[in-house]
Amino acid sequence: MDLGLKGKVAIITGGSEGIGKAAAKSLAAEGANVIIFARRQERLDNASKEILDATGANITTVSGDVTKPKDIEGAVQKAIDLFGKIDILVNNAGTASSNPFDEVDDAEWAADLDLKLFGAIRFSRQVIPHMKKQGGGSIVNVTAVLGKAPPASSFPTAISRAAGIALTKAMSKEFGQFNIRVNTVPIGLIKSEQVHNRWVKAGKGEDEQAWLNKTAAGRGASLQRVGEDYEAGDLITFLSSDRASYITGVSVNADGGASPVT
């Protein structure tokens, strides 16, 4: 299936590892020009080389922080200078932080919302004028299934991700008239460096894959296993593509069936 991505220009935040890198690799394999944005240049360089080796596609890297408007402006301007347009934005930057309500102070609340919610707002604000001018585009907000059905002790992530899901729907309503599609992919337990570190901290000496699959099953994953990063990356790529041209304002879980709601 031709996804119609050849020659498209995509920016992926948090693109140096995990789901962001997987999405970048998938988009590059389909012929898109990909710009990966993250804080650490060394990790960006490593990701770029990995994607080049896997796909033959050259990747543009931009070092920056989604909490800093000037960094975002610079990344968007670089995309315009290099390619003259921006077709796809994947708002993926973020970390997982789930704690009891009483243990989360104002500073942690503010930092979490600034990174996950306002990071997506800031980047979207910068790319939407270009998408309007060129006649359309696609934005995919990577969120979390916790935002749909928050359990206890899921603060602040469940709240910031719920806000990201609401942001997606509201933006899809506002910008559909400009042929700008906005969708979200709420993530469950997907292999990543963060998830690997959880296994290390568990300190049980258990095989990592077995521990991950058991953890996923314990969280209600119907498929009884952890997800692979490419499975989320390919979903993001599809939603970004011309083959999804009539899909907007939707939330498509990548969680192996763990969420109790659709």
One-letter amino acid of 33 = N
Neighbours of 39 (CB within 10 A): 16
Please report the pLDDT score of residue 242 as a whole number.
Answer: 96
Structural domains for the chain: 9-189+229-244 (3.40.50.720), 191-226 (no CATH)
3-state secondary structure of 90: strand
Q: Which of 38-42, 97-101, 176-180, 209-213 has the lowest mean pLDDT?
A: 209-213
Q: Which tens digit of pLDDT belongs to each residue from 223-244?
A: 999 999 999 999 999 999 999 9
* Average pLDDT value for residue range 168-178: 98
CA neighbours within 13 Å on the CB side: how many for 196?
Answer: 7
Distance separating alpha carbons of residues 26 and 92, to the nearest angstrom: 15
Neighbours of 91 (CB within 10 A): 30
Distance separating alpha carbons of residues 125 and 180, to the nearest angstrom: 13
Neighbours of 79 (CB within 10 A): 25
* Average pLDDT value for residue range 83-100: 95
